Homo-oligomer: A and B are copies of this chain.
């Protein structure tokens, strides 16, 4: 199987770190290059596989054959091949320049960033939406995406973020689920207006809110809004149609990681709506 991944003479296609394509792809670690080109970089076999399966637009991929190990890596490679994605083999040194740390498992892909426009986002009936405001750490945004995916949320809207959702570290922390989740970025006031126009109720998660999340009706068209870990939700998330709820903290700490809070509220919403049986 590995034979198919190598040119006839066994040497990699790219062996120089000065290769202009390598430089261009490595540059996608910087937000400016991502914004300018509309592309990002995906590290890791599982993440690449999920990007393909979710129908992400993949421009090209780079593999380092000696590092390509495990079922996930082989599956990712096979799917890239089946999809006709151009694949270049690289030397370990070139791959080190392309990949993040030791976790890329011999495969990275270059993916086109989809539209993040709120106006282009379409919702099913009774949508269950997550809104995350002011998030700063890519790891937190990625972890919230993973929670939202697990609980079957229909979309994630990022309000006033301080990181871009297709930062490679978001992709990695999301375990690739970012590619399966309708996603939009907008200012908080535009998000609130958008939700209100569509009759989507808003539950605002706040430390110390009198109502516990279990007391709220989480059925029907609903957005669950969460703030950043350091600052919580801004004052904009108050007023008509916005219901504050808290997640009771029963130990010595005063907050949970935002991805944990998101999961607890989302799965409670799912429970109230009737969890699918036998999943």
Contacts and interface: CB of A to CB of B under 8 A. Distances in A.
A249 B151 CA distance: 6
Interface residues of A, number: 45
A268 B146 CA distance: 19
Determine how many copies of this chain the complex contains: 2
Contacts of A180: 251-253
A218 interface: no
Contacts of A7: none
Contact of A210 (B210, B251, B271, B278): B278
Interface stretch (A14-22, A98-106, A111-119, A256-264): A256-264
B257 A146 contact: yes
A222 to B, nearest CB: 15
B146 A176 contact: no
A149 B248 CA distance: 11
Interface in A137-155: 143, 146-153
A180 B249 CA distance: 13
A214 interface: yes
Interface of A: 50, 53-54, 143, 146-153, 175-177, 179-181, 210, 212, 214, 246-253, 255-257, 259-260, 263-264, 267-268, 270-271, 275-279
